[in-house]
Structure 1
């Protein structure tokens, strides 16, 4: 394969795939980024060729190939078909995923994935057998460790800057840096490697390490006909349990600190609680009192987090730049800027440097050992990048040149230093960032927000690799001081009472999602002196057999081992486990379990000699019931200020769709719990007329004028579900 000095350009995907197949002798490891950054056209064409030609040995290596929702019955079709057309219009399907779901993936095609949409492959043998259980920071290495030739293919945004073409990894800078690091060694060993980008200018052009020149690519595919809308991930409803977890977490966040959160209802719950804390602080503190967070955890909150407004603001440091960060930005919470320069960041942290520069603050900066006694060219250029020296100045032969005037870079000359401070310094710090992410995905509004920003505003949301974001290695001093008071907030499924947490798989090894970056953030939380790890666990899981506790005596799988325990938050409270001995850990976790399961946990702990024989749960933790939480949150919902809404930041569903979905879920839950009683109620409902109030919902489902008996029956079921849910 010929080495490319720059990319070869194509506008026809079939020719790109022709080249790949010939160059790789039909044995291909096809790497694509997680989620949004995949090329539909190249992925589908290379898979189509592999289906047609069994001599092609294709291994697809990726994570979360986005899929539009499908249906298994007529009622689901009526609900989802209009939604698919409205939300995902113009977005193709991945052929390999369609075949995977149907069990028709050909034998010459393998899929290896390091992360799944939660619960999406529980019953899929191929997915369960071909899962990379790897830290996110090791995924690039593992892709390059495949025993065949490798291509890495992703979608990019294109922009001409100062007459030169640049490409942005945009939504997926996460693995690019890692993979590039391994390319020279791979090529030196005789392996073939291709880096392919497909232009999709629906992607916002993001800055930071995401931006590279043409020379980074071997092939660029560009054809406006191939550009597609971005896959939207609609908002999930935020439950009472989610809101309670969000309130607890928000109280553990320190003003002027750093925040990492993930996608979904828990991230939204944290964001809405932090916005309430900052913009409605009196109501927030009333909520802390009513929800008993102040009475139970006041000293912990004051030591670790806070109850006041977030005046200095937070810096977002996260592998996944989720839309909750955009809401926090709009709400005035995400605003603390960090800088890629140790001396600058150190003085910013100390309060010596602020965004507005002064003569004295710059003098203190230039007195740092790194710039003494003579300022070198790389230091001058770095300081100029961040606004310390004004634009237009140049460095030449150990002098700072300003047109016809020059100043020696020898800072030992006090008069010369004074002249520099009087004539050369800028007005404000520049190129600070308020959030850094490795990849992003979210609802359509999130993409619109990014695209509609000015270039300068968007540059504050910097995209870089997980090798930078998910660890300290490589630039420990800078990353540590940037991430001061970091709160790394992650979700787990189950916690044992001694502190082991299962987040990605069941005890029989069934993979639910993947480790992703969770262990990376666990490590950082313990490596940074003022950081904390906050693991969120919903205390209860609703099953077909009734509620089940997620705080358990023991569990046969562990993602985060107990020796790395820190803070665990459930809807019922905060368990601060760091530095605690076993009986304290056990007691703290039982305190935040649902009270329906507490006595059993205490009994098992005593039998295992992990609690004293006379131990009793403190009375203030004996009232952990979901209905109690609902009543307390209801007090604030009644204020009609938008507190604790099911969709606090809006959603892509209509009001009718939200009500229909909620009513049908409640109906299914009743059928699971009280089948005979529910059937009897449905039978009685069948004999009466359809309530008038049900008509708008039936019209949405095209059941307002049923054409046959089946549709009439379905209409009755839906109207009964609406009636039982109190909607009609």
Structure 2
């Protein structure tokens, strides 16, 4: 029988009484964690060294704070406005600061990108696993408690719960523990900010052993603001959008690159001629092999992560191809024997978890019942694996996921086609494998699907730009035998089924031109290119300046806005952010910094008083503070 609690403390009391030994607490990734409950339990265990607690989870989110004094001063009012009463995790604060107490440890299988590169405790306790194996591995870690934030509704006098943002692993965890004969205490904490999502996310109240309904349980959801889409992102997004087939299936990710793809798809559908003009400027080999038409049939969204870009595509009428849970029906629809418009049911979007800006959550809360029914939030094994539930389920997925374009980002690609997406070559983890390997493998298992890996051609470092296409790398997430399509801002490299020499040539064609000669030399030294081979001249102009010149006219026309789906930042904040980014980039290059400083002092510019007050520079004293003040003004 489900127990009801109106306080966090009472629920923690019961948990400690029910499990007298070590507690292994499983938490959903992202926003599905019940933060206040986790903090209450953590504080209780921290104060009692006789008890032990292991937290096994992924993506523990915390409010941004900034690294420099300028960043901290700028972020403080923004964070207060956007994140409001979102409670950070005590275990994250301790992990970043003084360290966890000896009786508590945290193990994550996906970390906030780049945030723990220099944190030895986080690096040592990281669990490398595919997303589809996470539930299995959580059981292997000895999980005996799972706690989750849920949405609640009353319908016809009956209370219902929704796993909302995270039906991804919970049901599978419950099944696996039951099959192994392991007791699992299941705790739900109602958060009335969570959107109530349908599909497999809906569970009966007795699914949980304990339900906590208290004021502290409801709080603002973690909502990262939309990132600004750069020229580089738009170029990648335009290339990627031209590989999406009408009537197909789409997966994209979060962030500015995902938004760039969504905006490019909307442009393709709504402004076809202009879209073709933009793409033509980016394609030295022409548009002969690209998809350029409108979406007459629409797309089916099938993505482990349901992101704002996919919702925008739903609202634009592009993600609208419904799929059905009956194989005969789906096959008849695919063959044109049944008109899906005449059929009841079906969904056009399937997701395992979601994360996005505050406007995204509000849009989900505002969906009509008919719109909400189009979205199936479900288990991650059902999304990321074709073979998760037997042959009949696999046949159905193959019928639903026709002409799929599975798009993922990566950090490095070798000239032979391997990709590193989760860690550096020294072993330090940047983020995690997540479901990337699953989708790459699935693209090869489906007859007409493609795995599309996207990366920016270069990365800025303290020593200047470096190429993200390299001859070799000491770590890989996607092995070279699963190479398929790679995209940079300079083009598309089709690698599937190609010889090593051809793969090298195709990747060199989309490499930043500042690094092509060095890579050609190394490839020839290792016998992967003919000694007399020359890179065609049309690929010799891959530079940021050339790229900007090609897309600048379209940017000026307002077709490639920095924030096509809105932003939480005010116009003044956007100006400050742009100046701070330029200043931060300059600090990585001493020569550039000196040039900027001389220019700022020579021109005698001053920033608006409100900007200086926001950054704590309005009463700058001393050479360093005045120097920063002048640099900031010079970068506005």
Q: TM-score range by the shorter chain?
A: over 0.9
1:697 to 608, 611, 623: 611
State how far apart, in whole Å, the 1-side matches of 2:429 and 2:256 are. 21
CA distance in 2, matches of 1:490, 1:71: 27
Residue aligning to 1:280: 271
Equivalent of 2:339, from 329, 337, 354?
354
Q: State the alpha-carbon separation in 1 of the partners of residues 286 and 2 from structure 2.
A: 58
SS in 1 for 2:64: coil
Q: Which residue of 2 aligns with 1:403?
A: none
CA distance in 1, matches of 2:450, 2:507: 17
Q: Please point out which of 614, 621, 624 is paired with 1:709.
A: 621
Q: How does 1:239-638 map to 2 (within 5 A)?
A: 239-292=230-283, 295-296=284-285, 298-301=287-290, 306-356=291-341, 428-473=342-387, 474=389, 475-638=393-556
2:36 matches 1:125: no
Q: Deviations over 1:293-339 (max 9, x none)?
A: xx5153332xxxx1011111111000000000111112221111111
User: Which residue of the other structure, out of 57, 62, 82, is the alignment partner of 1:67?
Assistant: 62
1:696 and 1:715, CA in 2 relative to 1: closer, same or farther beyond 3 A? Answer: farther
Query: Secondary structure of 1:524's partner?
Result: helix
Counterpart position of 2:98: 103
1:168 to 162, 167, 171: 162
Q: What SS does the aligned partner of 2:381 have?
A: helix
What's 1:682 paired with? 597
How far apart, CA to CA, are the structure 2 residues paired with 1:116 and 1:430?
A: 41
| Alpha-carbon shift at residue 707 of structure 1 (Å) | 3.7
Contact kept in structure 2, 1:297 and 1:574, CA below 8 Å: no
Q: Is the 8 A contact 1:314 1:333 kept in 2?
A: yes
Q: Secondary structure at the match of 2:164?
A: coil
Deviation at 1:668, TM superposition (A): 2.4
**Structure 1 CA distance, aligned partners of 2:463 and 2:330?**
54
**2:454 & 2:592 partners in 1: Cα distance?**
36
Distance 1:99 1:526 in 2: 43
**Cα distance in 2 between the residues matched to 1:718 and 1:206:** 48
Instruction: Give the whole-Å Cα distance in 2 for the aligned partners of 1:65 and 1:197.
Output: 18
2:152 alignment partner, SS class: strand
Partner of 1:535: helix, strand, or coil? strand
Contact 1:26 1:55 (C-alpha < 8 Å) held by counterparts: no
Equivalent residues in 2 for 1:86-235 (5 A)? 86-147=81-142, 150-186=144-180, 188=181, 191-235=182-226
TM-score normalised to structure 1 length: 0.84
Tell me the equivalent position of 2:586. Answer: 670
Conservation of the 8 A alpha-carbon contact between 2:325 and 2:396: yes
Q: Is the 2:37–2:217 Cα contact (8 Å) retained in structure 1?
A: no
Number of aligned positions between the proteins: 632
Q: CA deviation at 1:117?
A: 1.3
TM-score normalised by L of structure 2: 0.96
Q: Distance in 1 between matches of 2:619 and 2:506?
A: 59
Deviation digits for residues 119-140 of structure 1, max 9, x if unmatched?
0110111111111111101101
Query: Which ranges in structure 2 are unaligned for 5 or more consecutive residues?
Result: none
Is the contact between residue 660 and residue 722 of structure 1 (CA under 8 Å) also seen in structure 2?
A: no
Note the C-alpha offset of 1:708.
5.4
Does the C-alpha gap of structure 1 residues 668 and 659 become closer, same or farther in structure 2, counting only changes over 3 Å?
same
1:604–1:195 distance in 2 versus 1, CA, 3 Å: same
Greater Rg by CA: 1
Measured against aligned partners, the alpha-carbon deviations of 1:47-91 in whole angstroms (never above 9, x if no partner) come to: 101110011110001111110111344322220110111011111
Distance 1:250 1:716, change over 3 A: same
Give the stretch that moved more between structures: 175-184 or 99-108.
Answer: 175-184
Aligned partner of residue 554 in structure 1, secondary structure: coil
| Aligned-partner Cα distance in 1 for 2:626–2:526 | 54
Structure-1 separation of matches of 2:505 and 2:596 = 44
